[in-house]
Structure 1
Amino acid sequence: MLASRISSLLSTATLVLACVISFNPARAADLALTEAVSMAGMQIFLDSGAPGMVIGVVRGDDFVIQGYGETAPGSGIEPDEQSIFRLASVSKVFAGDVLASLAAKGKLSLSDPLSKCAPESVSLQSNGRPITLLDLATHSAALPRELPNPDASPSDNPFAVFDRAYYWKWMNSNKPPYVPGTSMLYSNLGYGLLGDALAKAGGADYNTLFISEVAAPAGLKDTSNVLSDEQKKRLMTGLNPFDHPDPNATVPDVMYASAGLYSTAADMVRWLQWHLEGARQQRADALLAHQMWLPYDGLASVVGTEVSDADGMGLGWVVSLPRSGTPLLLGKSGGVGGFMTYVVLSPNRDLGIFVVANRVNFAMFTGIHSRVRELAAELAR
């Protein structure tokens, strides 16, 4: 039995290695980088139980993109740099980029009260001090994680219960239970409000603002909240927590800032390179985006995000200070619509790593998280 199991594992590993070798659109000149990514990617894929997985790594001027498995169960098609997937909550750090860009241009301040960007009909309740845009970006506005509309009509789309009008109606009559800035409570509601606030401050709808402030400057070609017919043909099939194909329900525009984006590995590499270039150039928006704005130390509560190996919040990023050989990392995970995603950025080490698997299983995130951080430690200069 043991010999049979070992043989099976070796066969699987051989098949995966063959996939890695056959898919080589973006192989780094740095052999150590290529080998490290190959080994880490294979381990993450085998441990994930997902039909397919893609990893993209940037270090300095080099980058590697590698795909494993299948774009859909039984498809026989390997995912590659052009395969499309949902970013899920990694969308939040892109919203943080929009916020940083508008702040760098003087169109808003991180300390602006939400009331400044709220609809005119809304009179926001306060507890100690007003909610600011920075509170929303760092999940410290003392808001619930989700806010479904109890009066929403029945729908096959699970996201149809989230709507803009109800968000603001609720905010108009509910006071935060804690003083903003004193607790960290992960909130998709908060990012829905942030997206609306950014749109008002930027003078355009959020999607248009995202394109002008982030997608265009970073050279992103396939990162969008709405897919074209051509892009839909490249969309991977994700599995839900019950291992059934996810129907890929669309999200309402009030969710764009929190979980709306689709992307590709090629675009994620471009985006990581844009961030790292910004760090090297000391670009104002990058400096804002890479800061830790809310240390966990001294907060009354930290709920809904990584805590044990993290130290605070940036603009959507979970910030981990250097420890045990791992460099300073900005990280963000996501899981929705059949996809699990994780990205880390180390601006001072010129390093970025992105992983996506087309299966939602939150138990497997621990393995992805630890292996990506180990890879970051291996690759840190």
Structure 2
Amino acid sequence: MNEQRRAFDRRQFLQGMTQFAMVAATAPALGSSDAWRGVDCTTLTAGRPEDVGMSSDRLEDVFARIQRRVSDGLFPGATALVARHGVVVGHRAFGAKVAGVDEPVTLDTIFDLQSMTKVLSTAASALALVQEGVIALNAPVARYLPEFAASGKGAITVHDMLRYSAGLPVDNQFLDVADEETVWRLMAETPLEYAPGTSVLYSDLTYRLLGRMIEAAAGQDLDTVADTRIWGPLGMNDTMYNPPPALHERVAATAYSDLRGHLCRGEVQDEQDWALGGVTGCDGVFSTARDIAVFCQMILNGGAYGGAEILRPDLVRRMKRNNTPQVTEAATDTSPIENLLLTPKGLGWELWTRRFSNGGMRLSPRSYGKAGGAGTFMWVDPDHEIIGVLLTNHGLPQPFDGLHWSRMLDAVGCAEFFDGIINAVHH
């Protein structure tokens, strides 16, 4: 088991990435407005690029480039969706759900989203519970999850967890421990690697424990919290943890698991999250490009979509703004892997940076998005009112280190995709 763990652990390289500049800072105060007046309730409709100031020819070039990458064998398949001003101007499917198998990807193909879970499930659910008064952003996590107070972590707040600034390492996996409750206890007892609130370190462990805290506070499983408060009201019917067997033919496979002895299809590829049952705060959500675009439009609208009021506008503003003034883009945006790990963050969201953002180089500075480690991406550009979703079944880089992360980003062409979307806008 230990040898299998060493062979697959996708974050071994990242475990040592914890020495960086630390600058003390405090978090901005949460807005007090809870009014829904004036909130945009735009719903997605289909239309032509020219209807919203975009070029059909340039958008076709974007899709042709994805097709070329699939044809070159860089990944088996993909779906891509582009929307502007609430109008879906392009939604395409490419390649195969399973490498080497004649199962074409369709527009409703479901993909393993990996870390996009952090936004679509965990951060959104946490803010929904803040809205309900079940949890408080500035409350200590240990108020809801007492075992988390171990190893000097009693003062870490929910806000620190959401903004990737809790002081925890990138991960702490226990694949050689069979009992789930023991694994959760060991994770909760993980010691700090830096002083909470003084820096940023992207952390699956932090979000895994955040999901556990949400469950404890709400008295419900995380998938129930997310479905009843976010996905269900938005009509995101193809968004879920652990797709049932009846849906597996719609699911794109990622990669073969040596630990499980079979191809990951309808199962989260991350081994630790699979071992914990597939429902965690860091990985595990499956969805379609259309459902993800609905979620992004809700955020772009300020928290509502159609007749569904999901999050208060002040909470949405808090979610997508820079919550980490203790770090700067100039000091941290030094490589693709350090962009993921160390750059300024929102609550769950990654924030666009000028050099190594997986959202490319042409999004506006206020843009926010999220990558999934198996090759999935969503970005929202509020200045252009554009949503871009690119879902591939590339699979997790193996090993998961700086080199292989960069190679995966290059293979799927996420930067080229988002740059191409902005290039399609008539300026």
TM-score normalised over the length of structure 2? 0.70
Structure 1 residue aligned with 2:63, among 41, 44, 57?
Answer: 41
Query: Which residue does the alignment assign to 1:274?
Result: 298
Partner residue of 1:235? Answer: 251
Letter in 2 for 1:294: T
User: Is the contact made by 2:108 and 2:250 (CA closer than 8 Å) also made in structure 1?
Assistant: yes
1:170 to 1:61, Cα distance in 2 relative to 1, 3 A: closer
Structure 1 gap segments, 5+ residues each:
1-25, 154-160
**1:261, distance to aligned residue in structure 2 (A):** 0.4
Contact 2:115 2:372 in 1 (8 A): yes
Q: How many angstroms does 1:52 deviate by?
A: 1.0
Deviation at 1:115, TM superposition (A): 0.7
Who is 1:132 aligned against?
157
Aligned-pair CA distance for 1:193? 0.6
Q: Aligned pair in 2 of structure 1 residues 123, 269: CA closer, same or farther (>3 Å)? A: closer
The DSSP-based 3-state class of the residue aligned with 1:109 is coil
Contact 1:85-1:262 at 8 Å conserved across structures = yes
Query: What's 1:365 paired with?
Result: 409
Give, as a single letter, the amino acid of the residue that structure 2 aligns with 1:370: A
On the 8 A contact 2:363/2:381 being kept in 1, the answer is no
On the 8 A contact 2:164/2:201 being kept in 1, the answer is: yes
Partner Cα distance (2:245, 2:105) in 1: 19
Query: Match for 1:326 among 363, 375, 379?
Result: 363
Q: Shift of the alpha carbon at 1:263?
A: 0.6
Which runs of structure 2 are paired with 1:23-62 in the superposition (5 Å)? Answer: 28-31=47-50, 32=54, 34-47=56-69, 49-62=74-87
Q: Distance in 1 between matches of 2:150 and 2:290?
A: 41
Give SS of 2:82's match: strand
Shift of 1:190: 0.7
| 1:97 matches 2:124 | yes
Verify the 8 A CA contact 2:169 2:205 in the aligned structure 1: yes
Q: Is the 8 A contact 2:352 2:363 kept in 1?
A: no
Letter in 2 for 1:166: V
Post-superposition shift, 1:104? 2.7
In structure 1, distance between residues paired with 2:296 and 2:205: 26
DSSP 3-state at the match of 1:144: coil
Q: Which sections of structure 2, spanning at least 5 residues, go unmatched? A: 1-44, 269-273, 306-311, 356-360, 398-404
Deviation at 1:116, TM superposition (A): 0.9
Q: How many residues align?
A: 341
Post-superposition Cα deviations, 1:29-51, rounded to whole Å, max 9, x if no partner, equal 22435444332232134236112
| Offset, 1:321 | 5.7
Cα-to-partner distance string for 1:330-370 (whole Å, 9 max, x where unaligned): 121112xxx41111112343211111111235313146332
Question: Does residue 350 of the first structure (1) align with residue 385 of the second (2)?
Answer: yes
Distance 1:116 1:305, change over 3 A: farther
Q: 1:297 aligned to 321, 328, 336, which one?
A: 328
- 2:420 is matched with 375
1:79 to partner: Cα distance: 1.5
Does the Cα contact within 8 Å between 1:331 and 1:345 map onto a contact in 2? yes
Q: How far, CA to CA, are the matches of 2:55 and 2:103 in structure 1?
A: 25
- What per-residue deviation string (whole Å, max 9, x for no partner) do you get for residues 119-167 of structure 1? 4x5543327x7211122222211212222226424xxxxxxx9x45323
Counterpart of 1:342 in structure 2: which amino acid? F
| 2:345 alignment counterpart | 313
Shift of 1:66: 0.6
The one-letter code matched in structure 2 to 1:142 is: G
The one of 85, 91, 97 equivalent to 1:65 is 91
Cα distance in 1 for partners of 2:133, 2:293 equals 28
Q: Tell me what 2:316 maps to.
A: 286
The answer to whether 1:117 aligns with 2:141 is no
Could you tell me which amino acid in structure 2 is paired with residue 176 of structure 1? L
Structure 1 distance, partners of 2:340, 2:210, is: 27
Amino acid at match of 1:262: F
Asked if 1 retains the 8 angstrom alpha-carbon contact of 2:188 and 2:209, the reply is no
Q: Is the 8 A contact 1:343 1:354 kept in 2?
A: yes
Distance 1:271 1:125 in 2: 37
Residues 300 and 37 of structure 1, relative CA distance in 2, 3 Å threshold? closer
Gap change, CA 1:150 and 1:272, over 3 Å in 2: closer
Give CA-to-partner distance per residue, 1:77-116, whole Å, 9 cap, x none: 4312211110111111121111222223332222221111
1:232 maps to a residue whose letter is H
State the alpha-carbon separation in 2 of the partners of residues 167 and 233 from structure 1: 32
Q: 1:311 touches 1:320 (CA, 8 Å); kept in 2?
A: no
Q: Secondary structure of the equivalent of 2:241?
A: coil
- Secondary structure of the equivalent of 1:168? helix
How far apart, in 2, do the equivalents of 1:230 and 1:210 lie?
22
**Structure 1 length-normalised TM:** 0.78
Distance 1:351 1:245, change over 3 A: farther
Q: 1:373 to 1:306 in 2, by over 3 A?
A: farther
Q: Secondary structure at the match of 1:65?
A: strand
Kindly tell me: are residues 102 and 170 of structure 1, through their superposed partners in 2, closer, same or farther at Cα, counting changes over 3 Å?
Answer: closer
Q: Match of 1:111, SS?
A: coil
CA distance in 2, matches of 1:364, 1:300: 24
2:9 aligned partner = none
**Paired residue type of 1:369:** C
Q: 1:301 to 1:322 in 2, by over 3 A?
A: closer
Is residue 56–residue 268 contact of structure 1 (8 Å, CA) maintained in 2? no
Structure 1 contact 330–344 (Cα < 8 Å) conserved: yes
